[in-house]
Amino acid sequence: MEELTTEQINSFIKNGFTKIENAFPTEIADECRAILWKATQCDPNNPDTWTQPVIRIGELGFEPFKKAANTTILHNAFDQLVGKGNWLPRITLGSFPIRFPSNEKANDTGWHVDASFAGEDDNNYLEWRVNVHSKGRGLLMLFLFSDVTEKDAPTIIKVGSHFDVAKILESEGKKGLSFMELAQRLNTIPYREEAVAIGKAGTVYLCHPFIVHAAQNHHGRTPKFMAQPPLLTRNDFKFNKTDHELCPVEKAILSGLKM
């Protein structure tokens, strides 16, 4: 059975993410990329048509995306990280930020933590919120549909920053903080080493929902295709359990609260 190793689970708790190579077949990545190229209305063979640093494609419900999100290794990993059965299968993969080589800088490269539940205005993502129980969200997932090197605008991850975010959220109760409120507090966290989400097409990074991360500008030659959906939970995380009952997401949060 394809499952995460103990080393991968420990890395997730300690560092805030784990990398799964060959999480879905490269043939499916190729199919997804072809669909996304068409959606961008750019010509893959003509860089003159790549006129923007980033193009965001909305939800797409085509079968290749569904297949990419529902492999055996990913389903097993979801059970292992957020609790057996405590997650909702992905039918789509959220939006797709497609990054192109460009002299123009992208306007979405700030450090942040993805929000997980709606605030007063559920249509305004900046008002969406995060609380210490990570209401609604089990994981941040980075699906690579193209090969990504260090020059191809890989997502930057602050290693271990999920501990710091747990500490920030501890006193905010169920209401938590809005996306922007939390983003403004991230400059108070201690120095953290940075990792980049590189890998072959078909790689998936499973990240703790509190991980601090950022996009960056593309300095390579080949456009980067990815998705970054949440894994939604059936039940919010709770901490009044035995150590054996705690899932890795909960163990990581508790570790942060004790620091």
For the cut 80, the answer to whether the pLDDT of residue 120 exceeds it is no
Task: Provide Rg for the chain, Cα atoms.
Answer: 18
The closest of 124, 70, 73, 62 to 96, measured between CA atoms, is 62
CATH class of the domain comprising 6-257: mainly beta
CB-CB contact of 140 with 228 (8 Å)? yes
State the pLDDT confidence band at 38, using cuts at 50, 70 and 90: very high
* Domain edges within the chain: 6-257
* DSSP alpha helix (H) spans, 57-131: 63-69, 72-82
State the pLDDT confidence band at 1, using cuts at 50, 70 and 90: low
Q: Span 216-231, mean pLDDT?
A: 96
Give pLDDT, residue 124: 76
